[in-house]
Structure 1
Amino acid sequence: MSSSKQKSNNKTAKRLPVNGWIIFIAAIILVVGFILWSSLFKAYPVNGKKQMLAISTGDTYSGFIDRLAKENKVNFPIILKLYQKFMIHDSMKAGVYEVRQGMSIRQVMQMLANADNAQMNRILVIEGTTFKQLADSLRKDPLVSKEVLNLPQQQMLQALNIPFQHPEGLFAPDTYFFAKGESDKKILSDLYKRQMKALDAAWANRAPDLPYKDKYEALIMASIVEKETSLDRELQQVSGVFVRRLKMGMRLQTDPTVIYGMGDRYTGNITRADLRTPTAYNTYTNSGLTPTPIALPSQKAIEAAMHPDSSNNIYFVATGNGGHTFSANLESHNRAVQDYLSVLKSKKE
């Protein structure tokens, strides 16, 4: 073989690996590009030209991405999470956002980090919280314009056209969406009308022989029931206990009323002295219902106040493991109390 042919073959042998590397790198670039396109730059799925996307307080990018992946709306969720970790240096902001057709998932993720992009303001009113807590949250919300909340209480109620002397219990708990900049007057008016609508409907269909003079007393009972249990299945049982006590002339003796009457003096613990200290709301020292509701009751609690259970129970105590034990006589109740104390003791040990 001539030396010229041998040199030619050597050059070919050296060129092949180089070409192979070029093809390999090109393939990697194509694969990476496809992954990036199908994850970050893929269009966010929109029904129609635009749709609203609601983000709740506490929602996270990780949970948002996982939800989209579960619904098969995104590919390679790990890429989205890595992008968020290194490129988005803020948390998701609660609100309602307008997602337009053609926006990429990356653009949507960026948009959710800035509350100024929200089209609507999310107002969360939790059942069992007080009007004071609702008012404080609205005062602190920069997206709510202030018209009535800084007025004295009676002037505020007059401005809202509310024919009651006290605001407690009059506003329906739920999750609401209002336009950014909406007034506190409009927000409170809407919540009041919704609560009155629920109260009127429940009152019209109430059970017979209830110990309430009017629907306002039923609302008071609903607020007490709301504060006594967080379990929907117990609402009617708790209502039944208190309704039977009212009919029998027994005092309600419920701690949440004492706590409400303590106001700012309550710091998380209630003592025997607190139970014996008279206030307008202390149902250990006073008979009957409290003068006003003690919280914002849900529609379920209102329905329970109108439809108490038909058992003979007049006592209940916490189990220590969630829920309550209901009893029809003092002997059974005392045993339930001892069981509760045993559970607490075992947990401490």
Structure 2
Amino acid sequence: MKKLTLLGGVILAFCLLLAMGSSALNQQPKEAGKVLNLYNWGDYIDPELLSKFEEETGYQVVYETFDSNESMYTKIKQGSNHYDLTIPSDYMVEKMKKDDLIQTIDKSKLDFLNQMDANIMGLSYDSQNDYSIPYFYGTLGIVYNDQYVKGENLKSFNDLWRPDYRQSMMLVDSARDIMGLSLISQGHSLNTTDSSQLNQAKEKLDKLAPNVKAIVADEMKMYMIQNEAAIGVTWSGEAAEMLKNNEHLHYVIPKEGSNLWVDNFVIPKSAQHLDAAYAFMNFMMKPENAARNSVYLGYSTPNILAKQELEKTQDPVLSFYPTADQMKHLEVFKDLGQDVVQTYNDLFLEFKMYRN
């Protein structure tokens, strides 16, 4: 092959740039430094709010997604990407703090802290909210179809073991959640490290196996909406979308308690655009924006003024907010360490194999 002349090389490079399309050019921020590198769960924000943020502030959002706390943690720990903001769950905030992966938050730069629900602030994983600010919260609960199940017969996790529910329910594919519901049904903490309690929970799950039609992930929404199962155990935001699309579905927070999960804004140690990170948090927690985001996703906003906006319109999403009494019986996941988490995972895997 002949070597390119200098002029030919320039022309070819220019042609290649054009072939990449205008989208490649648009990846560069309009002003140097006016960028926010955001690392979020998939489909976990109203996309119109991202556009609104860019229009109002002049920042360009470079948006990437993850599908689990663990995959997010691994990428942040590798340090190859300089994310300015990411959104881990409660127990993962605790783990990232221990591993020195996130930085303290300058609360003087946040203008919404006096609007936040005290019940969602100061939880065990970050008791002073020095490293994290709640973004959304919700619960693990039970969805049932009133065409097949009477609501009065399904108020508790223990009710899932009723023999007349054989081959009628779907469980979300999550070791901590499903092991947790079995632990709660026996009066134990969903954060227990007691091996005898964990084994008891697994043995009780084995007895639930005849009632389990499938253990699934996101596809549960479609199945429940299409009346493919009578019962589903899943998270409140997933349930909100199901109920929106099927009038026969209802959501229950079990009376004996459940998991209260909280997803949070954190700033990784490697963040390079701190002003953008604080601007984004302030923008997302404006009452009108937080309320809009809650309606879009079905999860509960920790901003009290945003909730009041929803109350004015009596938006159906309000039915997924736990009451003050229910909050007393909810428990947040803790970081139990790799060995104990592996025990949960192993026992859950044994349960899945047992039911097959």
TM-score, normalised relative to structure 2: 0.29
Higher relative contact order (CA 8 A, sep 6+): 2
